[in-house]
Amino acid sequence: MAGPEDPPTILFVGQHETQRTEAVTPELLYRAQNSGYDLLTAPITTSAFQSRVLETLQEYVKMLNASSEQKDVPLPLLNPLSPEDTNLVPLDSNSSLIAVTSPWIDLASHDPLIAHVSRQVFNLEVAYAAFVGINNILIHGPISSSGTMQYARTLLEGLGMGPYISINVLLPMSGELEQDISADGIHLSELTRPEYAEEVEDVEEGEGETEVYDAWETWNTIRTVCNYSTKLSIALELPRQLPAVNLQSRWYSEPIRLLPLPRTSFWRNGKGFPVLSKQHQQYLTQFLRLRFPPWVLLSDVGAVPSLSNEAAARASSEPTPAEAAADSNEQPLDLIQHLKYMRHLQQSQPTRPPIERFGQGYQDYMQSPLQPLTDNLESITYEVFEKDPVKYEWYERAIALALKDLREKLGEQRKVVVAVVGAGRGPLVTRALQASRSTGIGIQCYAVEKNPNAHVLLQHRNATDPLWNKQVTVVKSDMRTWSGPPTMGGKSGKVDILVSELLGSFADNELSPECLDGVQHVLDPNHGINIPQSYSAHLTPIASPKLHGDLLGRASTDLNMTMAEKWELPYVVMLHQFDYLSTVQPSAEDPRTPVVQEAWSFWHPISTNILDLAKSRADGHIDAGGHLGGDGTNEHNSRSCKVTFRCAHRGVCHGIGGYFETVLYSSPTSGQKIELSTNPVTMADKSKDMISWFPIFFPLKTPIYVPDDAEMEVSMWRQTDDRKAWYEWIVDVYIRMGSRRMKLGGSDLHSCRRNGCLM
C-alpha cells in the first residue's frame, strides 16, 4: 500500500530514585545521558532542609503548649532557602531535569499547622526550581481525598508562579502507589494534631468497582479546580498488575506527561532480565502513538552507572586513578538493564494501522469541517483523499455491481450513462471506467465539477490518460445547475448512475443531501441509481480532556466568531486521547467496544413529490413559510433524534463523537451490499483501513459529570433554512434509583446556526 511511512518511535526515558543519595550534578547528568537516559529527577531540597522544617515545627508546638490561648500563637514561618537546603543551581543542563518536591509534606492536611507549613515548603521549592530553570515539577498526589480541594487550590497557585512551570501529579492508577516516594523519614501527615485527625467516612470498604476510580476522581477534582490548565499533567505510576481495561482507557484519555515505572512493575524473563508484561507493553504502545507521548521514568531500578573509561576520557581529559578503577571494577552491567529493555521496546514497536500512519501529527487536532460548496479545494486536499486504499476500491465494486444490475434490468445493449458529480481530479471517473472494463459493460461517462481549477485538470486527464481515452465528457458546472446529458436519438437524456463523494465525517455535514437533491433532476426517474444510495450519522458520548482543554485555551482566530462560539461548532478530529463513556459488555476480544447509535439517515433518489413541493415553496407557488425562516424549501432535509446511552463507569462527558455509515450500492438481484463506515463498531467489517475520514466532535461548553450506572440522553437536530444547514445538540444525565429515573444534570443547548454550512 502506498502511504506515509511509519514514523520512528520517540521515547524519552528518565531515571528516578525515590531516595536519591547522590547530589544531582552536571557530572551525574552527564553519566546518566552517557548511559542512555534522557532525563534525571532531582529533589529540590536536601535532608538538611527537612530537618530545619521539623525543628521549626517542634519549636512551634512547644510554644503552643506553653500558651494559654492557642489562637494567639501565630502559625510558624519558614525562612527562605539557604545554600545547605538545596543542591540545585542555575545551569543550562537543568532542562534535562525533573524537579521533585519534598514528598514528606501534606498539602491536603486538615490540620491548619501542617497545611500551612506544607504550603510554604511547596512554594519555596517550586519558586526555586523555576528560578534555576527546571520547569517540570513532580509532586506526590494528595494523601487524603477529603483534602483534595485544598491540595488543588495550592497547586493552582504553584502553576501561576512562573510562566513555564509545569506540574506533574504522581498518582496511582487505583488504590495506593507501588513505590511510596516518602518511605524514609518523618512525614508531616504523621504530625497531625489529634483534634484535626480526619473523620473516617462511613463508607463500606471493598466495594470493588467503586474504589478503583478513586484516584481518577481525585485527579478530576484537581484539574477542575485548576481549570484544565495545560500546565498540569499526571505522572501515572504503572503498577505490576494493570487494572481493568476500562480504567486503563480512562487514564489513557488524561494528560499523562510522565509514566513512572517502579522496579516492581517489571518481571524477570527466563534469562533473568527485566521485562514488562504483554499488557504493559500494549498499554505503552498506545501511549507511544500519542502526538506527544509521555516520558517513562524508571524508578529505583539502579543507580546511574559510572562512566566507562572511554566516556570518562571524553568527559575529562585526565580521569583520576580512582575513577578509572571504579569504571572497570564497580560497574555491574545490570544497572541499566531496565533502560536497555525500554530501548528494545522502543525499537520493536508494532507497525501503526494505516489511518494512524496517515494521520500522524493530526492526533486530537481539531479542524473545522470542509465547506466544499463554498470553498474551492486545492489539489493537495484532493490528493490526500485519493490516497485511501479502500474507499475508491469499494466505489469501483459498487459501480460494477450497479452496471450489471442495470444491464439485466434494461436488457438493452446501449451504453449506460454514468455521471460523476463533484468529480474533483477524477478518481471516481477512473473507477467507473475500470468497472466498465471489468464488467464489459460500455458506459458513457460525464465528469461534472464546479471548481474551475479541477476542471482544467479533468480536461488534461481526459486528453492524456489512456483509460479515459478522450471518451469522458467534462462539464464545468455546479451539479445543481447542470442540465444533464443532451437528449438525442431516442435516448432519455438522463443519467443511469449518478456517482458522488460528498459525505463528510458526520455523513450529511458537507451538504450531500442538498447537493444530490439539486442534481436529481438529471437522474432517470425509473431506473436511475445513486451511488451512494443512503447514509446515516452515528454518535456516542466521549470523554476528552485534551480537546476540552485545547478549546478552553483557544483564542478565536476567526474575526467573525466570538469566544463563546468555539463551543458551538463541530470539529473534524482524529480522536486519540479520549475515552468512550458508553461501552457494550466487555468481552475477552474487545473489552472496550463503544455503544454507537444512529442519529438519522438519508437516501437517494428521494420522491419527486418531495422535490416538487420544495420547488413550489422556493418559487413562491406555495406560501407556507419555513419553520426556521425562509421558504422552508429544505425542510425535508431536517432531522432530529433523541438517543439514550448507558454508562457503567463514572466519567466526565466533554462532547459527542460522530461517525457515518453509507451504503454505496445494495444489489437487489445478488443481495450484495457495498458499504463504507467510520463507525468504530462496524468499520472493521465494512471498510477496514479506510483513511479518508476522521470522526467529528461536538463539544460541550461545560463538561458534564456522569456517575456510575448512569444514562446519558443526547438530543440532536440537523436544522435547515433556505440558505444553510446546521446542528444543535444537548445532553442530559439520569440515573435509575429503583424504578425511578432521576435527572442529574444537563448541558445547555449548543447550536452552530451562526456558523452552519452554507449552501
| Enzyme catalytic residues | 501, 510
d(CA 97, CA 297): 12
CB-based contacts of 78: which residues, under 8 Å, 6+ apart? 52, 53, 56, 117, 120, 121, 124
521 part of the interface to a copy of itself, by CB under 8 A: no
Q: Taking a C-beta distance cutoff of 8 angstroms, is the pair 573, 364 a contact?
A: yes
749 part of the interface to a copy of itself, by CB under 8 A: yes
Measure the N-to-C terminal CA separation of the chain; round to a whole number of Å. Answer: 36
Cα→Cα distances 40→12, 53, 275, 338, Å? 11, 26, 21, 15
625 part of the interface to a copy of itself, by CB under 8 A: yes
DSSP 8-state code for residue 241: S
543 part of the interface to a copy of itself, by CB under 8 A: no
Is 392 annotated as ligand-binding?
Answer: yes
Shorter beta-carbon distance to a copy of itself: residue 225 or 515: 225
d(CA 740, CA 275): 50
Q: Taking a C-beta distance cutoff of 8 angstroms, is the pair 138, 168 a contact?
A: yes
The radius of gyration computed from the CA coordinates of the chain, to the nearest angstrom, equals 32
Which of positions 318-347 make contact with a copy of itself (CB under 8 A)? none
Is 63 annotated as ligand-binding?
Answer: no
Which of positions 677-716 make contact with a copy of itself (CB under 8 A)? 702, 704-705, 707-708, 715
Shorter beta-carbon distance to a copy of itself: residue 324 or 735: 735
412 part of the interface to a copy of itself, by CB under 8 A: no
The residues facing 474 across adjacent strands are 447
Q: Binder to a copy of itself among 513, 632, 651, 657 (CB under 8 A)?
A: 632
Which of positions 91-130 make contact with a copy of itself (CB under 8 A)? 119-120, 123-124, 127
Which of positions 133-162 make contact with a copy of itself (CB under 8 A)? 149-150, 153-154, 156-157
* Closest approach of a copy of itself to the CB of residue 184, in Å: 27
Of the candidate spans 188-196, 416-424, 447-455, 619-627, the one that interacts with a copy of itself by CB under 8 A turns out to be: 619-627
Q: How many residues line the site for a copy of itself (CB under 8 A)?
A: 72
Q: Binder to a copy of itself among 10, 624, 684, 758 (CB under 8 A)?
A: 624
d(CA 19, CA 50): 14
* Closest approach of a copy of itself to the CB of residue 74, in Å: 4
* Closest approach of a copy of itself to the CB of residue 715, in Å: 5
Is 449 annotated as ligand-binding?
Answer: yes
644 part of the interface to a copy of itself, by CB under 8 A: no
Shorter beta-carbon distance to a copy of itself: residue 619 or 748: 748
717 part of the interface to a copy of itself, by CB under 8 A: yes
Q: Binder to a copy of itself among 54, 61, 73, 315 (CB under 8 A)?
A: 73
Shorter beta-carbon distance to a copy of itself: residue 210 or 346: 210
E-state strands within 443-520: 443-449, 473-476, 497-500
Shorter beta-carbon distance to a copy of itself: residue 119 or 404: 119
Is 571 annotated as ligand-binding?
Answer: no
Which of positions 214-273 make contact with a copy of itself (CB under 8 A)? 217, 221, 224-227
* Closest approach of a copy of itself to the CB of residue 567, in Å: 12
Residue 1, judged by CB atoms within 10 A of its CB (0-12, 13-18, 19+), counts as exposed
69 part of the interface to a copy of itself, by CB under 8 A: yes
Q: Taking a C-beta distance cutoff of 8 angstroms, is the pair 106, 120 a contact?
A: no
* Closest approach of a copy of itself to the CB of residue 624, in Å: 4
Q: Taking a C-beta distance cutoff of 8 angstroms, is the pair 660, 709 a contact?
A: no
Q: Binder to a copy of itself among 8, 80, 208, 411 (CB under 8 A)?
A: 80
**HEC states along 553-604?**
HCCCCCCCCCHHHHHHCCEECECCCCEECCECCCCCCCCCCECCEEEEEEEC
Which of positions 572-611 make contact with a copy of itself (CB under 8 A)? 606-607, 609-610
190 part of the interface to a copy of itself, by CB under 8 A: no
* Closest approach of a copy of itself to the CB of residue 702, in Å: 4
Q: Binder to a copy of itself among 79, 95, 453, 556 (CB under 8 A)?
A: 79
314 part of the interface to a copy of itself, by CB under 8 A: no
* Closest approach of a copy of itself to the CB of residue 162, in Å: 12
d(CA 298, CA 174): 19
DSSP string, 684-695: HHHHTT--S---
d(CA 303, CA 336): 8
291 part of the interface to a copy of itself, by CB under 8 A: no
Which of positions 723-742 make contact with a copy of itself (CB under 8 A)? 728, 730, 737, 739-742
Largest CA distance in the chain: 114
Q: Which of 499, 478, 513 is nearest to 660 (CA)?
A: 513
CB-based contacts of 369: which residues, under 8 Å, 6+ apart? 504, 505, 506, 509, 510, 570, 571, 572, 696, 757
* Closest approach of a copy of itself to the CB of residue 745, in Å: 4
Q: Binder to a copy of itself among 62, 344, 460, 743 (CB under 8 A)?
A: 743
d(CA 650, CA 218): 13
d(CA 244, CA 20): 33
Which of positions 645-664 make contact with a copy of itself (CB under 8 A)? 650
Q: Binder to a copy of itself among 33, 210, 230, 286 (CB under 8 A)?
A: 210
* Closest approach of a copy of itself to the CB of residue 611, in Å: 9
Cα→Cα distances 72→54, 63, 68, 69, Å? 21, 11, 9, 5
Residue 729, judged by CB atoms within 10 A of its CB (0-12, 13-18, 19+), counts as buried
Q: Which residues define the annotated binding site? A: 382, 391-392, 449, 478-479
Q: Which residues define the annotated binding site for S-adenosyl-L-methionine? A: 382, 391-392, 449, 478-479
